[in-house]
Amino acid sequence: MKPLAKCLLFVAFVLSAQAQPREGKTRELSISGSYQNYSSGSGSSSSSAFLICPRFGIFVVQGLEVEPEFIAMLATGGSAYVLNGNLSYNVIGAEKVVPFVLLGYGIANTLPLFNVPMTKYEFTVGVLNVGAGLKVFLRDDVALRLEYRFQNFKGEQKQHISGLIYSYARKVDTQLHTVQFGLSLLL
């Protein structure tokens, strides 16, 4: 490993030790059941479902947590993915209830309806994540987690049909509203 990489890992470790929400805890593993409502850009249709999803977070500075998310589907038609980089800020104090806000952005080649990659696109779409929630600590290392998440999947691909003077644009503009209930373990 190069010296710069070792130095960066050391700095990340030291910063995460200072960011802990509870003494000695710098990482968070959580599993949430989520209720999700889907609506199209036109607003003409909507549906909903309940699913379970895991996540992992690392505290980097006081209250600030990096929460990467990755959803993948491997199939014969090709791989589908959603890759999000989220930051959440936890309002840390001595209280058992810790509110947090979340903001992130990602990329995807699919639209995960009900957390399942349903449609694979031949182009990449952007994913905006905005959310807020509460962590209610049952013990120093165990908390119930309640979160609302808004996601906007947006992108466009212009296609030209060769040999013809014809082009069209394939657009994605879909909003997902999710309420997640779960359990967080501080490691």
What does the alpha-carbon distance between residue 184 and residue 187 come to, in Å, rounded to a whole number? 10
**CA 66 to chain CA centroid, nearest Å:** 10
Question: Which residues share a beta bridge with 125?
Answer: 108
Q: Judge whether 40 lies within some domain.
A: yes
pTM of whole model > 0.75? no
CATH number of residue 76's parent domain: 2.40.160.20
pLDDT value of position 162: 67
Q: How far is CA 169 from CA 58, 117, 123, 155, in A?
A: 39, 22, 11, 10
| Residue 24 pLDDT greater than 70, yes or no | no
- Mean pLDDT of the 57-79 span: 81
Query: Which residues form the domain of 104?
Result: 25-50+59-186
pLDDT at 25 (0 to 100): 77
Residue 13 lies in a domain: no
> In this structure, is residue 10 part of a structural domain?
no
Residue 113 lies inside a defined structural domain of this protein: yes
pLDDT score recorded for residue 106: 95
Structural domain includes residue 15: no
> Mean pLDDT score of the chain, rounded to an integer?
79
pLDDT of 40 reads 66
* Per-residue model confidence as pLDDT tens digits over 8-19: 555 444 444 434
Name the more confident of 162 and 111: 111
- Name the CA dihedral angle for 6, 11, 17, 21, rounded to a multiple of 10 degrees: -120
User: Could you give the number of structural domains in the chain?
Assistant: 1
The pLDDT of residue 87: 96
| String of DSSP letters for 129-166 | EEEEEEEEEEETTEEEEEEEEEEEEEEEEEEE-TTSS-
Q: Which of 73-82, 144-153, 162-171 has the highest mean pLDDT?
A: 144-153
Percent of the chain whose pLDDT exceeds 70: 68
